[in-house]
Structure 1
Amino acid sequence: MKPFSRFRLYHWLLAIAFGAAYLTGDDAELAHVWLGYGLIALLAVRLVLAIARSRGFPALLPPAAQWKKPGNALAGKLLTVGLVLGFVSTLTIGVTMIDNRAALSEGLSTVIPATQADDDGDYDEGGGGLLKDADEVHEWLANATLTLVGLHLGWLLLYRRRQAWAMLGGSPTTPAGPAPQPPVGPAPGSRGAANGALALRVAEVRRESADAVSILFDVPAALRPRLAYRAGQFLTLAAPTADGKVWRCYSFSSAPGAPQPRVTVKRVAGGVVSNWLNSELKAGDTLEVLPPAGNFVADGCADDLLLIAAGSGITPVFSLLQDALAHGEGRVHLVYANRDAASAIFAAELERLCATHPDRLSLHHHFDAVSGYLDAAALTALLQDWTHAQAFVCGPAPFMQAAEAALANLGVDAARVHVERFGQVRAPAGAGRAATLQVTLGGQMQNVEARPGEVLLASMERAGLTPPSACRAGSCGACKCKVTAGRVKLRENQVLTDAELAEGWTLACQAEPETERVELRF
């Protein structure tokens, strides 16, 4: 069961148990007592889930960040805490008022006939005036708790309508969108022709910073289903070069459903495609693109989000941030590192979103030129109030290593840490072995010699072959091929499933030979 579904099921059980216990308070004493026991069990389960930080179940206490900046979110948390305390107080008084042994005995007798009640269904322990006072206190606490329930429902209707509707209907408030799928790569033997590629007109090339542009596309209605994407995914596009079309992957920086999908490209020193897109591309041009892909996506919207980005790593993170604010209900905290203020992409948009969502979005800018590089120790201090959240990390490799180390230092479960890596994954020096590759590409077979530490794609390109390729980072699936003999090992894989791996599929941009001879087919 998905985290959101577990969260919803728990709250339905709690609501039903409390409502039934309240309604049976006067006329069905045994049922009332056992429903109280059920509530105690449910509260114990919630405490265990809070301690275990189970995915999908928000922390019970408000995080420190909410105390520093009080608002509607803090009010909602305090109402929740009040409800829990009301439940606990009412149940504690109720348990002390009755003969629990007799209640348990008669209740069990309904399923175990040999078990009999000792007092003909009378569970009161006695105590005269003291008991009468306890009974009045119990009733007052129950009514007070019911009042808090009403206030909490009112708060939900005012500030969390989408979440309340989702709790009733069972659907996450963020549309699930299409399942992440690897795009269809360029046709075998030709980087210039791509099976499944789409031609999109460039609506605008927007300068975001001195070394980054955003590309906005006009998408005809007929193509929108094929261009549907989830926040955090990327688009693979082709750029013309002296050697023909070269395919590269760039993350969406727009939220799903935007009228004009947008990708953002930062200029990279020596990067043929990124430099061409920054310098030569103009509105009205047409680009060949592949369908969206990628697994750097959020599952539902029940959790708070911790977003950690550096440089161009803000691109998929900004898409996640916009989508969470538009469709989610949790809080979002962004730590964004750059060389200096001038190099920060989306700075103005981020400030506008902070002003629009002061209760839900908090932002920490870090500039290396002012404060030095962010290491694991500095990040640990910055992230300590957000260990309950789902974490998404994207940026240069050293920054990501520091962020992952900081989250590990804080005890964040690795299952709640999501990373997106840009660029190629390099092999350790001296790794790998030489091998002979028998490649079937475009219906033709050719032998290729692979050098130690060289991935299949590099070996084939060195031999003059042009197999399909795009991201070269193991995240798009354009270079997917099948190993029919021999063995390979993958440096990185963000696309292939366990079933596909078992069938022999691999990624040419990430696979190194493990045997002297490897046969593969595109």
Structure 2
Amino acid sequence: MGSNVTESVQLRVVDIIEETSDAKSFVFEASSALVYKPGQFLTIEVPSDSEAGGTARCYSLSSAPHESDLLKITVKRVRDGYGSNWMCDNVKVGHTLKALPPSGLFTTRQASSDLLLFAGGSGITPVLSIAKSALATGTGDVVLFYANRNDASVIFASELSELAAKHPDRFVTIHWLESVQGIPTVTQLKNVVRHFSSYDAYVCGPAPFMAAALTALDQLGLPRERKHHERFVSLEGNPFEIEAVTTEHDLSETAKEGSASTTSPSAVPSFRVSGKIGDVSFDHDDWPADQVLLDFLLNKKLAAPFSCRAGECSSCMYQVVEGSVKMLKNDVLDDEDLNDGLRLACQSLPETEAIEISYEF
């Protein structure tokens, strides 16, 4: 089987903004029109001497869809972080980068909802996109809890002040500085935001910060459907070099070690899968036992969402309504997700005769 790259776009850098001493925003003009939702991210190809074809990193969009056709990501240097340091040290205006189209599930469900946003450090990037979009297109209030090390590390300080001045009755930022108040605890977070416990909550930042915020929300009684958090992990593979989807059902070594069949394609059992993606309903009875769900759906010309195709980013997440599947790998879904029937399409093999799935959850 030949190889191919996942469908990609070219991004030309038209501006670079120094946000802080260790964070930059990169403004892009895309080679083709891109549609995205506030809170989504771009997967950028980063050249690497040690890996043929480079590697990939996910960077959230800090721009909002209503602003313009230009796209903006914001990158904060991470100590020993190859991708972030390469971006900040090497990318110049006029350069062109390869990217996958916007993806991700960390997006708002209803524009009119009141929002309680938690951001820690560079976690402000998708949160700012959500806040700007909600204020411009919705009617609800927006409360932002924004934690940083100190004053100098606050990304988008001026933009947040401008938003507050423009929407004085709808938007407020609660700044929290570790240099002054220490690292926020669950109790402190709960006390600060308890008056907004009826809002829809969105959380993004370092893992300990997100864990504390989500625990505080749990203790305030927020139901699961009103709590949302970003699910980033560093990509191990390069989605730009994923082999082309094919009707030949080649097995990965991981699948071979599991229960999937290794016999000839004609002997591979098939399963039934039904559901809906967007406005399109489907019902197929020929899902091969040795082909992951994402590849099967794409072969059927269905617009199933995806990005990394390696079980590392959650963009292909869906819910099993009936039946069961086996996942080959899972780096992002927690026990609560799994108990709710959430699975990754790029890692799912069928286990029961008939399976019903949903992308609306």
After TM superposition, the score normalised by the length of structure 2 is: 0.69
Cα offset, 1:266, TM superposition? 1.1
1:234 has 2:41 as partner: yes
**Do 1:247 and 1:471's aligned partners in 2 also have CA atoms closer than 8 Å?**
no
Aligned to 1:343: 153
Cα offset, 1:272, TM superposition? 1.2
Aligned to 1:257: 66
Aligned to 1:323: 133
Aligned to 1:213: 24
Aligned to 2:228: 418
1:387 has 2:197 as partner: yes
Aligned to 2:239: none
Structure 1 residues 507, 275: closer, same or farther in 2, change over 3 A?
Answer: farther
Query: Structure 2 counterpart of 1:392, which letter?
Result: Y
Aligned to 1:473: 312
Query: 1-side partners of 2:46 and 2:126: how far apart?
Result: 21
- Tell me which of 9, 15, 18 is aligned to 1:204: 15
Aligned to 2:78: 268
Cα offset, 1:415, TM superposition? 1.0
1:290 has 2:100 as partner: yes
Residue identity over aligned pairs, in percent, reads 39
Cα offset, 1:356, TM superposition? 1.3
Give the match's secondary structure for 2:346.
strand
Structure 1 residues 251, 486: closer, same or farther in 2, change over 3 A?
Answer: closer
Query: 2-side partners of 1:393 and 1:265: how far apart?
Result: 18
Give the match's secondary structure for 1:292.
strand
Q: Any idea what the Cα deviations from partners look like across 1:40-85, whole Å, max 9, x if unmatched?
A: xxxxxxxxxxxxxxxxxxxxxxxxxxxxxxxxxxxxxxxxxxxxxx
Q: Show structure 1 runs of 4+ deviating over 2 A.
A: 421-426, 440-450, 468-478, 485-496, 498-501, 504-508
Give the match's secondary structure for 2:47.
strand
Structure 1 residues 487, 396: closer, same or farther in 2, change over 3 A?
Answer: closer
Q: Any idea what the Cα deviations from partners look like across 1:13-61, whole Å, max 9, x if unmatched?
A: xxxxxxxxxxxxxxxxxxxxxxxxxxxxxxxxxxxxxxxxxxxxxxxxx
**Do 2:311 and 2:330's aligned partners in 1 also have CA atoms closer than 8 Å?**
no
After TM superposition, the score normalised by the length of structure 1 is: 0.48
Query: 2-side partners of 1:500 and 1:377: how far apart?
Result: 30
**Do 2:22 and 2:76's aligned partners in 1 also have CA atoms closer than 8 Å?**
yes
Cα offset, 1:475, TM superposition? 2.6
1:313 has 2:123 as partner: yes
**Do 2:15 and 2:27's aligned partners in 1 also have CA atoms closer than 8 Å?**
yes
Report matched runs for 1:478-493 at 5 Å: 488=328, 490-493=330-333
Aligned to 1:105: none
Structure 1 residues 471, 211: closer, same or farther in 2, change over 3 A?
Answer: farther
Query: 1-side partners of 2:126 and 2:310: how far apart?
Result: 15
Give the match's secondary structure for 1:377.
helix
Structure 1 residues 374, 447: closer, same or farther in 2, change over 3 A?
Answer: closer
Query: 2-side partners of 1:320 and 1:199: how far apart?
Result: 25
Cα offset, 1:469, TM superposition? 4.3
Query: 1-side partners of 2:81 and 2:12: how far apart?
Result: 23
Query: 2-side partners of 1:318 and 1:367: how far apart?
Result: 18
Cα offset, 1:388, TM superposition? 0.8
Aligned to 2:346: 506
Query: 1-side partners of 2:195 and 2:87: how far apart?
Result: 39
**Do 2:40 and 2:104's aligned partners in 1 also have CA atoms closer than 8 Å?**
yes
**Do 2:316 and 2:345's aligned partners in 1 also have CA atoms closer than 8 Å?**
no
Query: 1-side partners of 2:45 and 2:235: how far apart?
Result: 21
1:247 has 2:56 as partner: yes
**Do 2:187 and 2:216's aligned partners in 1 also have CA atoms closer than 8 Å?**
yes
**Do 2:112 and 2:134's aligned partners in 1 also have CA atoms closer than 8 Å?**
no
Aligned to 1:11: none
Q: Which runs of 5+ in 2 are unaligned?
A: 237-241, 258-306, 318-324, 350-361
Query: Structure 2 counterpart of 1:473, which letter?
Result: E
Greater mean alpha carbon deviation, residues 276-285 or residues 296-305: 296-305
Query: 2-side partners of 1:359 and 1:202: how far apart?
Result: 36
Aligned residue pairs total 278
Q: Any idea what the Cα deviations from partners look like across 1:284-313, whole Å, max 9, x if unmatched?
A: 000111111111111122321100110111
Instruction: Report which structure shows greater RCO (CA 8 Å, sep ≥6).
Output: 2
Query: 2-side partners of 1:505 and 1:255: how far apart?
Result: 28
Give the match's secondary structure for 2:54.
strand
Report matched runs for 1:41-190 at 5 Å: none
Give the match's secondary structure for 1:490.
coil
Structure 1 residues 500, 420: closer, same or farther in 2, change over 3 A?
Answer: closer
Query: 2-side partners of 1:382 and 1:297: how far apart?
Result: 24
**Do 2:57 and 2:234's aligned partners in 1 also have CA atoms closer than 8 Å?**
no
Cα offset, 1:447, TM superposition? 7.6
Query: 2-side partners of 1:425 and 1:202: how far apart?
Result: 23
Structure 1 residues 301, 476: closer, same or farther in 2, change over 3 A?
Answer: closer
Aligned to 2:287: none
1:195 has 2:35 as partner: no
Query: 1-side partners of 2:235 and 2:98: how far apart?
Result: 26
Q: Any idea what the Cα deviations from partners look like across 1:108-161, whole Å, max 9, x if unmatched?
A: xxxxxxxxxxxxxxxxxxxxxxxxxxxxxxxxxxxxxxxxxxxxxxxxxxxxxx
- Structure with bigger helix share is 1
Q: Considering only aligned residues, what root-mean-square deviation do their CA atoms show, in Å?
A: 3.5
Query: 2-side partners of 1:447 and 1:334: how far apart?
Result: 44
Structure 1 residues 425, 201: closer, same or farther in 2, change over 3 A?
Answer: closer
Structure 1 residues 381, 206: closer, same or farther in 2, change over 3 A?
Answer: same
Aligned to 1:518: none
1:409 has 2:216 as partner: no
